[in-house]
Amino acid sequence: MTPADLTRTVLHTVRRAVEAAELPDAVPTRVTVRVPPRPGCGDYATNVALRLARETGRPAREIAEVLGRRLAREPGIARVEIADPGFLNITLDGGSHTELVGELLRSGANSEPLGLRPPAALTARLGADAARWSLTCPPGTDRAGLLVQRESNPLFRVRYAHARTRALLRNAADLGFAPEPGPYGEDESTLLGTLADHERVTAARAPERLARHLERVADAYLRWQAECPVLPRGDEKPSAVHRARLALAEATGTVLADGLHQLGITAPAHL
């Protein structure tokens, strides 16, 4: 289940609750789901109950309880928890995460470039990649720092994370196993949440927003990879867990490559 799928599910749930007279007749034209700011709060959160409370005068907690009971019965949703004052925190089941990774692998890096055109003088000074990335940076950014391979350089982190995903695929091929999406758990939830945001961020066609999204993806991936070994160690044989993690790494690389392609920046296989 992608964020777009979940958004439609939440909206349909509101409509069905209104039709069943469980909620006042106030159906929003659109709803929003977001990745929660803190781990442990589900995969996604929505404030639809708070919006309905403002429009109808009914307590947000009561609305959230009605919607939560209905959403918990929807395919692809493992559980729904209510957080004060009326947020719905939604956790997807493992199959939904598997579906997301598979969809990202099938979609590839096919988005249209955004057409960033830095001044010729800036390109001559920084090179094409750093010059284009600099157009997405906040005012006052040290543009010369974009040329240095260090952790504080966001362009380096994004391109390095992409290169690491490709290195894992090469190493796995040498070991004789391939990626295969499988069930994912709490260890992967943060990374999966950032990957699931890619479709929505891409649709906005906003270079600055896309660059910050790629930074979040790269940082979540590098933290996850450090904590969850993708390749077997020592005499360990490749397992379903390794294949699933490798698929998640490949999907991350696909998202990073797609985002860099939109910005007109190369996605290196080696770095």
For the segment 128-144, what is each residue's pLDDT rounded down to a tens digit? 999 999 999 999 899 99
For position 39, what pLDDT does the model report?
A: 66
Share of the chain above pLDDT 70, in %: 99
Same domain for 166 and 88: no
Q: What is the CATH number of the domain that holds 62?
A: 3.30.1360.70
Last residue of a domain, one of 32, 65, 92: 92
For 110-129, what is the mean pLDDT?
A: 95
* Alpha-carbon gap, residue 74 to 38, rounded angstroms: 24
Same domain for 138 and 172: yes
Same domain for 140 and 77: no
Q: What is the CATH number of the domain that holds 211?
A: 1.10.730.10
Tally the residues of the chain. Answer: 271
Last residue of a domain, one of 62, 92, 122: 92
* Alpha-carbon gap, residue 226 to 50, rounded angstroms: 38
Residue 175 maps to a domain: yes
* The token pair that represents 270 in the structure block: 């080696």
Q: Are 250 and 181 in contact (CB under 8 A)?
A: no
Residue 74 maps to a domain: yes
Residue 271 maps to a domain: no
Q: How many CB atoms lie within 10 A of CB 219?
A: 18
Residue 101 maps to a domain: no
Same domain for 24 and 120: no
The residue with greater pLDDT, 3 or 263, is 263
Q: Are 182 and 244 in contact (CB under 8 A)?
A: yes
Name the residue range of residue 122's domain: 111-263
Q: Are 260 and 158 in contact (CB under 8 A)?
A: yes
Same domain for 223 and 150: yes
Same domain for 124 and 252: yes
Q: How many domains does the chain have?
A: 2
Last residue of a domain, one of 59, 92, 125: 92
Same domain for 143 and 22: no
Conformational region of residue 21, where left means phi above 0, alpha means psi within -120 to 50, and beta covers everything else: left
* Alpha-carbon gap, residue 225 to 168, rounded angstroms: 10
Query: DSSP assignment of 177-232, as one string?
Result: ---------GGGHHHHHHHHTHHHHHHHT-HHHHHHHHHHHHHHHHHHHHHS--S-
pLDDT tens by residue, 191-246:
998 998 898 899 899 999 999 999 999 999 999 999 999 999 989 999 999 999 99
Same domain for 8 and 119: no
Same domain for 128 and 208: yes
The four Cα atoms 108, 110, 114, 119 give a dihedral, to 10 degrees, of 80
Q: Are 137 and 143 in contact (CB under 8 A)?
A: yes
Of 36-45, 81-90, 158-167, 186-195, minimum mean pLDDT range: 36-45
Q: Are 80 and 89 in contact (CB under 8 A)?
A: yes
**What type of residue is 264?**
G
For position 5, what pLDDT does the model report?
A: 85
Same domain for 257 and 175: yes
* The token pair that represents 210 in the structure block: 């896309």
Same domain for 127 and 85: no
Residue 269 maps to a domain: no
Same domain for 76 and 120: no
Residue 37, pLDDT > 80, answer no
Q: In what order do the strands lie in the sheet with 77-83?
A: 33-34, 44-46, 87-92, 77-83
Residue 104 maps to a domain: no
